[in-house]
Structure 1
Amino acid sequence: MKAGDTGSTSHVEGAEEEGGGRRYGSSTGPRKEDAAMALFRNAEEPHGPMDPEKERALVWKIDKMILPQIAVCYCFFYIDKTTLSYAALFGIQDDLHLRGTQYNWLSSLFYFGFLCWALPTNLLLQGLPVGKYLGFNIFMWGFFLMWQAACKNFASLAILRVLSGAAEACADPAFMLITSMWYTRHQQPIRIGIWYAANGLGIAGGGLLGYGIGHIKGALASWKYEFLIIGALCALWGVVMFIFLPDSPVSARFLTEEERRMAVERLRDDQTGIENKTLKPYQIMEAFCDVKVYLFFFLGLVCNVPNGGISNFGTLIIQGFEFSTLATTLLQIPYGIFISLSILACVFVNDRLPPNNRCYMVVAFIIPNIAGAFGLMCVPQEHRIWRLICYYLTGPYNAAFVLILSLQIGNVAGHTKKVVANAILFLGYCVGNIAGPFFYKTDQGPTYTLGISSMIFCHLVEVVVILVLRFLLSSENKRRDKLQEGVERDLDATAFEDLTDKENINFRYIY
């Protein structure tokens, strides 16, 4: 990599002069700029520091529009994850004559649908309006969930689980794209933490809904009401998001033109751009050749093997402590609240630490999970309260995953590369969630020794991988600092050119 003499300090090795302009790292032809450039009629117009009061008011306005919609959706997102678990409590296994590993397969088939559709749906997210596409998929996700109440056997339920997974495949990647479009890299962990904390509320809300649904004395089995009620609520929220969720800061109708320009301007220093609707094959290739993208895939996998098990077998683990069925549903409420508080504590503490401590915070919030899993392995079964506390300690891995998501969206630039990298991370997420339930052998219930062992192993591997990632990102920053030593960085030249993090020497990684 070699810095140029003046403004060319913006670009990395591989850039070559052509016709008085620059091309960056590949023979891709004319480069299409980020959509944000449409807001700036004159590239030379001044863009100095904005009024802090105006910026605070703008951020609050964005928060009120974006965060509640994503948070409520994410709450349903996790309620949906546990719906099958509550259905198991209410007799779905007997009613549908599920035998052997069929229940485990129902847990995993959801993620097969997710896995198959993960890359196509991410590419569609680039070409289609993000808010509209997300809203449509959330509606379909609720629609398929409602239809699961009509299932008569394993085969019909299996098909609908696959379709539900495909419909949900765009949710997390879309939330990450939306967060990266609206918030600076410094603000992203707290915003991700706020909407991700809603999954704890989803666990708690799922417990309350499960308790209430368990008391319905209607013509249908209780598990059918579970699917119908939660599916209808999800579908309704999909309609709300389709209508009200803006597609990007560039076209947001709830902002004035000045506010749209400010919303874009405040992201200039991040060098990650806003949005670009042009699919760029070289950025796809770069994503598949980037080591850190595979590390994020691996983190997605080892983070979610435990998630795949706990989200589907958590209620059965608690029931194994000899609590009644309805008491088991209520005991999920403090677990969900503890997860939400862990996430919020993690992101707010991280916000107050010096820069580049996110990887260490990930490690700090994995430790309680390891301790809780060891407790479930070692504490005798007769000490059911202590075992329940150990089960609750397995929740803070969600906080660690929040910071991993913030590391992903903060360390990948170039819009096509971002959507592909998001898809790869969630491929790992799917593989982990597919594999997780199969470590929980029916004949090992309620202690599930193999399942708890898999949780310990995966969290230990996660610690190693996150520290390796930190070392690589830190080393690359030092290398770039050395290359630009004594040279003023021209951030304006590269902020909205839809450059990848590899192309743009002005880009600095966060860790």
Structure 2
Amino acid sequence: MSDSNGIETADADQRSAAGRENPMKGDIADEGYELFQDSTPEVSQEASEAVRRKIDLHLLPLMCALYGLNYVDKVANGWAVLFDLRADLGLVGTEYAWASSMFYFGYLVAQYPANYILQRYQTARVLSISVITWGILMLGHLGLKNFAGFMVIRFLLGVAESVVTPGFVLYTSMFYTRKEQVMRTMLWAAMQGAFSIVTALMSYGLGHITNTALRPWMYIFLVLGLLSLLVGFGWLFLMPQTPNKARFLSPEERVIAVQRVAGNMMGIKGYQWKNYQMWHALIDPKVWLILAFVLFTQLPNGGLTSFGSLVISGFGFDSFKTLLIGLPSSVVSAGSMIVWGTFSIKYGNLRTWGMILPLLPAIAGIAAVYGTMDTGSNKYGRVVAYWLINSYAVTWPFVLTIIGQDIAGHTKRAFTNTLMLILFATGNIAGPFFFRNQDAPKYVLAIASILVFFCVSLLCAVILRFYMIWENRRRDRVYGAVNTTEAKVDGMRTGMHDKTDQENTDFRYVL
């Protein structure tokens, strides 16, 4: 017997000795399971690439448009405030900070029902209804007269947008392999920066409209609301629910699309809510490290999103120059995402590195801004340092890929998204209050706090990487390496029955 056969036999014995039980007994199979069962486990690279190109062509344009609008609709306040939004609504003291945070109160309250709905119903349909609803709410900004109305509409906007990020994680994992998901996530996440550039320039132009029935800031919400409605109806009529129901694929291509995703060992789409999987999330160290990372990156995000333009204006620029000078921050975030996505395709295994390395220029940038206060430093040099801070935005899509690729079990992933986005909302709620009125325009407390938060985030990401390396090695030692076709098919079949990564002993974490 050859050495390779000997190794294979030893692994099989080891896996049997580990006491593997049938994990599928009594379970309802996943969406697309019949296509998976009736197909060959081997799909040629050429056929897989052909189907992937078709999926890209039909899905990515509307995915990018929706996620880009989702971001700029949230930060539109940061541009509107430069054109007398506060004065027109009579906002005083901390009322603008409260209104900025109120979006995330709605976001936080809606997280559990949002993820439950995404689990139980068709993802594309839920996302389309969401974007149509928030488009209507954006138009509702035109009727605002006071602080109370502003608070209500921002809360409802947070509720409407609560499904977007978890929905995108789920939707991307339904159509793409683990290797492909990183670049696709980077692409739609990069639209935050790309759309920020375009809409900031748009806001610059709209801000010059005077002597009309609408105030300049109202035009920003008018245009964004109409664009959101257009994209929402596009999702409603054009986006497929699952790969096995994609009308743009032939019957043979649908089989390949299902087989490709089955290789993730996470299934495609299940409609059951399994309470025990919530416990699996709560006892998973990965989940808690992700939660800590998200909280300590979103505390800075909440403040910088709402007060970033005011920080730049505090360097000594007027409203229009502030808007234009802030654009390279978006270039840094969008460009960095594309660069990191490209690296991940070429080198692989960059998911945790994508949470670690982009924080280094962000830490350097915020440290430079803090260290040059009251030193008479050139304001343009401080602006360049401020631009570097936005490299932290690259970490967000990498966090989403970790959840989408390393948290198996539909309910476990949905519950992890719920916890993660609750802390996301909490960080964004609390963040603006570090920017105290008495600290304007330098905001010393906020800048120092952001520096500390970034350093803690960096530590969490490093620990997460080493934990997953250790767990993969432990699984190989206990259950045997997953290096045979039989083992891979077993893992795929287990994943198609909606099992968590704790239950699926063939599952290995990607780093």
TM-score by length of 2: 0.92
Q: 1:273 pairs with 252, 264, 267, which one? A: 267
Partner of 2:487: 490
1:132 aligned partner, one-letter code:
R
| Partner Cα separation in structure 2 for residue 149 and residue 101 of structure 1 | 22
The counterpart of 2:450, out of the listed 455, 463, 469, is: 455
Aligned counterparts of 1:234 and 1:381: Cα–Cα separation in 2:
44
Give the CA deviation at 1:11: 11
Structure 1 CA distance for aligned equivalents of residues 23 and 175 of structure 2? 28
1:12 CA drift (Å):
7.5
Per the alignment, do residues 5 and 314 of structure 1 end up closer, same or farther by CA in structure 2, a change over 3 Å counting?
closer
Indicate how the Cα distance of structure 1 residues 474 and 40 shifts in structure 2: closer, same or farther if over 3 A, else same: closer
Partner of 2:504: 504
Residue deviations 1:206-262 (CA, integer Å, cap 9, x gap): 211211110112112112222222122112211111111111112111111111111
Closer/same/farther in 2, CA of residues 4 and 432 from structure 1, 3 Å limit: farther
Mapping of residues 286-301 of structure 1, within 5 Å = 286-301=280-295
Distance in 2 (CA, whole Å) between partners of 1:232 and 1:85 is 19
Q: Name whichever of 379-388 and 448-457 sits farther off.
A: 379-388
How far did residue 406 of structure 1 move?
1.1
Q: Which residue of 1 aligns with 2:363?
A: 370
Superposed CA offset, 1:83-106 (max 9, x none): 111111111111111111111111
Instruction: Tell me by how many angstroms 1:284 deviates.
Output: 2.3
Tell me: CA distance 1:172–1:381, structure 2 relative to 1, closer, same or farther (3 Å): farther
Structure-2 residue corresponding to 1:339: 333
CA contact (8 A) 2:15 2:480 kept: no
**Residues paired across the two proteins, number:** 495
Contact 1:439–1:451 (Cα < 8 Å) also in 2? yes
Matched with 1:176 is: 169
1:182-201 equivalences under 5 Å are 182-201=175-194
Deviation at 1:9, TM superposition (A): 4.2
Task: Indicate the percent of aligned positions where both proteins have the same amino acid.
Answer: 34
Q: Name which of 192, 198, 210 aligns with 1:205.
A: 198
Q: How far apart, in 1, do the equivalents of 2:434 and 2:70 lie?
A: 23
Q: Deviations over 1:388-408 (max 9, x none)?
A: 101100111111222121112
Range 160-169 or range 246-255, more displaced: 246-255
Please state how far the C-alpha of 1:322 moved relative to its aligned partner: 2.0
The equivalences for 1:88-487 within 5 A come to 88-217=81-210, 218-353=212-347, 355-379=348-372, 380=375, 383-485=378-480
Judge conservation of contact 2:18–2:479 (CA < 8 Å) in 1. Answer: no
Give, as a single letter, the amino acid of the residue that structure 2 aligns with 1:31.
Answer: D
> C-alpha offsets along residues 402-447 of structure 1, whole Å, 9 cap, x if unaligned?
2121112111111111111112211121111111111111221222
Are the equivalent residues in 2 in contact too, given 1:346–1:365 (CA < 8 A)? no
For 1:274 and 1:252, locate their aligned partners in 2 and report how far apart those are by CA, in whole Å. Answer: 13
The Cα shift of 1:7 comes to 10
Give 1:493 deviation, angstroms.
2.4
The change in CA–CA distance for 1:282 and 1:237 in structure 2 (over 3 A counts) is: same
Contact 1:47 1:265 in 2 (8 A): yes
Can you list the C-alpha shifts for 1:279-325, whole angstroms capped at 9, x where unaligned?
21221222233222222222221111111111111111121222221
Whether the aligned pair in 2 keeps the contact of 1:200 and 1:337 (CA below 8 Å) is yes
Aligned-residue offset at 1:41: 5.7
Which residue identity is paired with 2:79? Y
| Paired position in structure 1 for 2:6 | none
Whole-angstrom distance in 2 between the partners of 1:254 and 1:296: 36
CA contact (8 A) 2:178 2:405 kept: yes
AA at the equivalent of 1:294: W
CA contact (8 A) 1:342 1:396 kept: yes
**Contact 2:362–2:389 (CA<8 Å) still a contact in 1?**
yes
More helix by share: 2
**Which residue pairs with 2:4 in the alignment?**
none
Structure 2 residue identity aligned to 1:506: D
Cα distance in 1 for partners of 2:315, 2:329 equals 15
SS at match of 1:502: coil
Q: 2:32 aligns with which of 32, 36, 46?
A: 36
User: Secondary structure, in 3 states, of the residue corresponding to 1:321?
Assistant: coil
Check conservation: 1:77, 1:202, Cα contact below 8 A.
no
Does the CA-based 8 Å contact 2:18-2:478 persist in structure 1? no
Q: Report what 2:3 is aligned to.
A: none
Unaligned runs of 5+ in 1: 17-21
The Cα RMSD (Å) is: 2.2
Partner of 1:71: 64
The one-letter code of the counterpart of 1:386 is: G
Work out the CA distance in 1 between the residues paired with 2:382 and 2:18: 54
Residues 1:58 and 2:54 aligned together: no
- Give the counterpart letter for 2:233 in structure 1: V
Q: Which residue of 2 aligns with 1:19?
A: none
Contact 1:92 1:223 (8 Å CA) reproduced: yes
Q: Say which SS state the counterpart of residue 47 (structure 1) adopts.
A: coil
1:46 Cα deviation after fit:
2.8
Letter in 2 for 1:144: L
